[in-house]
Amino acid sequence: MLIKFYDLWKNDTSSLELRPPLEIVRSFFTGFPVSCDYSAISCYKILGSDSQGDIYPCSKAMNYSELRMGNINDGLVNLVGSEIHKMPLLRYKKLKKENDPWFHLSSGGCIIEAKSDMGDYMKPTIYSEDVRYNLFEKIYEDMKDEKIRNLLEEKVGLI
């Protein structure tokens, strides 16, 4: 289904911005996910805050009190680099397989999805591999064609 959405978006001539295909394709040009993209390496670059200023790795983490990093009044210096903030990086290192060509894009998937579906932040999500890897392969093949590569580069707004 993801590939069908990707193909629809790729061949669409309107200015529709379909995510996540757009962000995933952009990652092929940048070499790493720039936005969340359900790729856990992004969690390290994103913070979520509730209305009281309590800070979490992401707005999706707010249901998990153990992921509260502190409060904005503690100062960013005490939040960034804290144990919870570093957790996605530790998970990245734990899950990384040398022979996995797409790990830099998948990163084991969303940490909150891992917690809710697998019961453990440190596990990979179901969505992180099989389904997305088929899409990554398809984009990889498409990028070998210069015409499609140029089209994709334009569609993600890089040219």
Helix (H, G, I), strand (E, B) or coil at 70: strand
Query: Are 135 and 3 spatial neighbours (Cβ–Cβ below 8 Å)?
Result: yes
Nearer to ligand SF4, 10 or 64 (CB): 64
What residues contact residue 40 under an 8 Å CB cut-off, 6+ apart? 88, 91, 92, 107, 108, 109, 110, 111, 114
Query: Are 19 and 33 spatial neighbours (Cβ–Cβ below 8 Å)?
Result: no
Nearer to ligand SF4, 54 or 153 (CB): 54
Nearer to ligand SF4, 66 or 146 (CB): 66
Kindly state whether residue 58 participates in binding ligand SF4, applying the rule CB under 6 A.
yes
Kindly state whether residue 118 participates in binding ligand SF4, applying the rule CB under 6 A.
no
Provide the 10 A C-beta neighbour count for residue 96: 12
Query: Are 38 and 114 spatial neighbours (Cβ–Cβ below 8 Å)?
Result: no
Kindly state whether residue 111 participates in binding ligand SF4, applying the rule CB under 6 A.
yes
Task: Print the binding letters for residues 27-46 with ligand SF4: x by CB under 6 A, - otherwise.
Answer: ---------x-x-x-xx--x
Q: How far is the CB of 106 from ligand SF4 (least distance, A)?
A: 10
Q: In the complex, which residues of this chain contact ligand SF4 (CB under 6 A)?
A: 36, 38, 40, 42-43, 46, 57-58, 60, 110-112
